[in-house]
Structure 1
Amino acid sequence: MRGAVLVLVAVLVCTVVVCRPASAFIDGLLPNGNFEYGPKATEMKGTVVTGKYAIPRWEISGYVEYIKSGQKQGDMLLVVPEGAFAVRLGNEASIKQRLKVVKGMYYSITFSAARTCAQEERLNISVAPDWGVLPMQTLYSSNGWDSYAWAFQAEYGEVEILIHNPGVEEDPACGPLIDSVAIRALYPPRATNRNLLKNGDFEEGPYIFPNTSWGVLIPPNIEDDHSPLPGWMVESLKAVKYIDSGHFSVPQGTRAIELVAGKESAIAQVARTIPGKTYILSFAVGDASNSCEGSMVVEAFAGRDTIKVPYESKGKGGFKRAILRFVAASTRTRIMFYSTFYTMRSDDFSSLCGPVLDDVRLLSLRKP
């Protein structure tokens, strides 16, 4: 009888709170995702890894180096963001790992990468049949390391995550450093009668490493078939930054978006609307408390209507709320946001920053 009561309680809980299905892994680093377990000395030639399976839990191909933090490349000191080791992918080199997942589920991969040589470095990332190309021309943090997110939908119960450097340089070792590869299951939220936009609070998104303070870059939609930020598209040439309240000032909840590349960094979502009906789009604009100072402007669009929201930032946190009232012209209305200006951190003129966007809500206005 007691067991039946417990089952009934569990069913009731799942009715009130959406129960997530059991997954084959725990969100976070992949096995040896930070490469702290390295090859044996007999499977290395200098820094080059010679064994295909020499790095535990990974399979490598091509010119792959095992890099220790503090190692020098000429006059440049190689820094590792997490732990003591990372890998470097030379010409046409790749690393891959097989992982059990839930078929049909959406997942986001987060990994840290640093450019070491060429200005045009890029990375291919794939989970068959999905793949994407992540450009690394723009550095968003001054320490040289950025974390990137990329999403996919699992078509099989076991997938192969592959990160590949397609570059062909004169120096075969010239390629990006890779560290801290993690994964997170995504549960795309739905629009409700309290908010016609999905994931308007940005709480659902990619894994953020707890020991890093530079957020996660979400690439443009043209490079990612499935957005790591459920509900939203990155409709721009540059990425937007996903930030957390553990390292930044966030207006509401624990996650937000920082628009770090001016008009080249925009996010959008298409909402269902009724032609002729009046709607209210509300949102919060602020700064991340990351020394991003000065005059900022966030431009919001709802179909053909627009509003410019100025925000004078002291770089110490804070926000203001804004409202755009509009009449829908069609059954679908595109909601879009971008920052008018480029901004650099006052304490670090090589790090891009920008206004923070959060708590985006769309509601229909009832007639009196």
Structure 2
Amino acid sequence: MKITAVFIAGVFLALASADILQNPDFELPPSNWRANSTTPFFPLDGNGTLPGWTFEGAVEYATAGPNLELTRDGHAIVLGQDGQINQTFTANGDQMQYLLTFTLARRIQNCTSNASLVVSAPDSSAQFSLTQRYGNEPWEVYGHQLGSWGDGESINLVIQSQVVDTDPNSTCWPVVDALSLITVRSLNQDHGNLLRNGGFEAGPSFLNFSNKGVLLDSEPSLTESALQQWTITGTVKYINAKNYFIPEGNSAIEIVSGTSAGVQTVVQLLTEGSNYNLEFMLGDANDSCPGDFTVGVTAGSSIQNFTIHSNGTGSAQKYLLTFTGAGPSPTPISFQSYTTTQREDGVLCGPVIDGVVLHASSGHRANLHSASLTVLLLIALLN
């Protein structure tokens, strides 16, 4: 019996592209701004320009200080009523995915959030809440896939505020800072893994000055997720080896938004009746997050729960789930948290997933081979 070839596809490699956006950290000030200005919030109007960007509505150039904490004590942009900034860039070369990382804060720290940030590009749009639950700083780092372009296409990136209620005087307007835009392209698949991006190495860039990872919100589409080839439920944190414990490689995910949050992918054309092994690492990120983590793992029609106890000091174990291929239909592979965990300071945290590998069971192939030899030997003896 010959094992059907499994869907062959590319994995993705992130290529740093720091020069895609002009003035991504807003450290080049407006043309009419003065460095000795004592105003922490400088309104932008028609009398000045912002290098690399155009703007509309109520937009302010902000300087870090007692009234506003920023990631590097530098400058940022506040988007007020109908405020938006735009930048157009050219997608050169082959078709690639464009992944954006940015920081998001609030102009007024101690108010109830009733505004959000909307990031859009041709054929894509995403909304980000100002509710901060995953860190103890007044800002968060987010990742988002803008889209896929190439061949000299002109792309307009729009970042704007959106009011949730009708009282603009009480709105906590969004503060945007430190954008990083990278491209990712496809490479040949690892021959030892039937999944794409099973090690979570392909995703948005990590900001050098941040040690808190990158938040990825819910995204039901494999082709539109910033975590390449994985859909997201709830919120997960994309973490790196520089600042966290990573079981394998440089990157992993931490499921931070509690029960029902997680990630899922699909694999095509598994052979019906054949056995497959799903291997993965389950652990904690060394971010002071103790507790019992329970993760539900689904592979086709097989579902199994795995529980580890975390001391919050960085550790991981390898697990195995064996299941049977169901034929030509796409086979879902998912990891879902069944627990909600908080640190002593109230920050939400959770289990780390890494090193997800899917391959045909070697025992199954050996049994098939032995059975075939036995049949051939019997035929020879009968003849």
Quote the Cα distance in structure 1 between the aligned partners of 2:13 and 2:128: 30
TM-score normalised over the length of structure 2 = 0.81
Shift in Å at residue 219 of structure 1? 1.9
Q: Matches of residues 161-310 of structure 1 in structure 2 within 5 Å?
A: 161-167=157-163, 169-171=167-169, 174-189=172-187, 191-222=189-220, 226-234=224-232, 236=233, 238-272=234-268, 273-310=270-307
2:12–2:185 contact (8 Å) kept in structure 1: no
2:132–2:140 contact (8 Å) kept in structure 1: no
Quote the Cα distance in structure 1 between the aligned partners of 2:75 and 2:248: 36
Quote the Cα distance in structure 2 between the aligned partners of 1:188 and 1:229: 14
Check if 1:59 corresponds to 2:54: yes
* Gap change, CA 1:172 and 1:31, over 3 Å in 2: farther
Decide which moves more: 156-165 or 143-152. 156-165
Shift in Å at residue 306 of structure 1? 1.4
Quote the Cα distance in structure 1 between the aligned partners of 2:130 and 2:327: 38
Q: 1:10 — aligned with what?
A: none
Shift in Å at residue 192 of structure 1? 4.3
Q: 1:357 — aligned with what?
A: 353
Check if 1:26 corresponds to 2:17: yes
> What amino acid does structure 1 have at the position aligned with 2:95?
G
Deviations 1:298-320 (A, max 9, x none): 21111221121111111111100
Shift in Å at residue 20 of structure 1? 8.6
1:284–1:357 contact (8 Å) kept in structure 2: yes
Q: Secondary structure at the match of 1:171?
A: helix
Quote the Cα distance in structure 1 between the aligned partners of 2:324 and 2:300: 9
Quote the Cα distance in structure 2 between the aligned partners of 1:132 and 1:258: 21
Deviations 1:201-232 (A, max 9, x none): 11111011011011111121148961111111
* Gap change, CA 1:173 and 1:306, over 3 Å in 2: closer
Check if 1:36 corresponds to 2:27: yes
Decide which moves more: 250-259 or 211-220. 211-220
Quote the Cα distance in structure 2 between the aligned partners of 1:172 and 1:131: 25
Check if 1:114 corresponds to 2:109: no
Check if 1:81 corresponds to 2:78: no
Unaligned runs of 5+ residues in structure 2 are 1-10, 368-383
Shift in Å at residue 118 of structure 1? 4.3
> What amino acid does structure 1 have at the position aligned with 2:120?
S
Q: Percent identity?
A: 29
Shift in Å at residue 187 of structure 1? 2.2
- Paired residues in the alignment total 340
Shift in Å at residue 139 of structure 1? 2.4
1:29–1:181 contact (8 Å) kept in structure 2: no
Partner residue of 1:146 out of 140, 143, 157: 140
1:188–1:204 contact (8 Å) kept in structure 2: no
Quote the Cα distance in structure 2 between the aligned partners of 1:251 and 1:341: 21
* Gap change, CA 1:52 and 1:345, over 3 Å in 2: farther
Deviations 1:149-194 (A, max 9, x none): 1111126533121111121542287411110011011124554441
Q: Tell which has more relative contact order, 1 or 2 (C-alpha 8 A, sep 6+).
A: 2
1:260–1:354 contact (8 Å) kept in structure 2: yes
> What amino acid does structure 2 have at the position aligned with 1:241?
K
Shift in Å at residue 289 of structure 1? 0.6
Q: Secondary structure at the match of 2:259?
A: helix
* Gap change, CA 1:59 and 1:173, over 3 Å in 2: farther
TM-score normalised over the length of structure 1 = 0.85
Between structure 1 and structure 2, the one with the greater Rg is 2
Quote the Cα distance in structure 1 between the aligned partners of 2:55 and 2:285: 38
* Gap change, CA 1:19 and 1:193, over 3 Å in 2: closer
2:222–2:265 contact (8 Å) kept in structure 1: no
1:63–1:172 contact (8 Å) kept in structure 2: no
Q: 1:134 — aligned with what?
A: 128
Deviations 1:8-65 (A, max 9, x none): xxxxxxxxxx9999x9x83478322111121244699962112386221111111111
Shift in Å at residue 83 of structure 1? 4.1
Quote the Cα distance in structure 1 between the aligned partners of 2:62 and 2:249: 38
1:88–1:177 contact (8 Å) kept in structure 2: yes
2:79–2:173 contact (8 Å) kept in structure 1: yes
What root-mean-square deviation, in Å, do the aligned CA atoms of Structure 1 and Structure 2 show?
2.7
Quote the Cα distance in structure 2 between the aligned partners of 1:224 and 1:146: 24
Q: Secondary structure at the match of 1:166?
A: strand
> What amino acid does structure 2 have at the position aligned with 1:244?
N
> What amino acid does structure 2 have at the position aligned with 1:269?
T
Quote the Cα distance in structure 1 between the aligned partners of 2:221 and 2:80: 22
Check if 1:92 corresponds to 2:87: no
1:294–1:312 contact (8 Å) kept in structure 2: yes
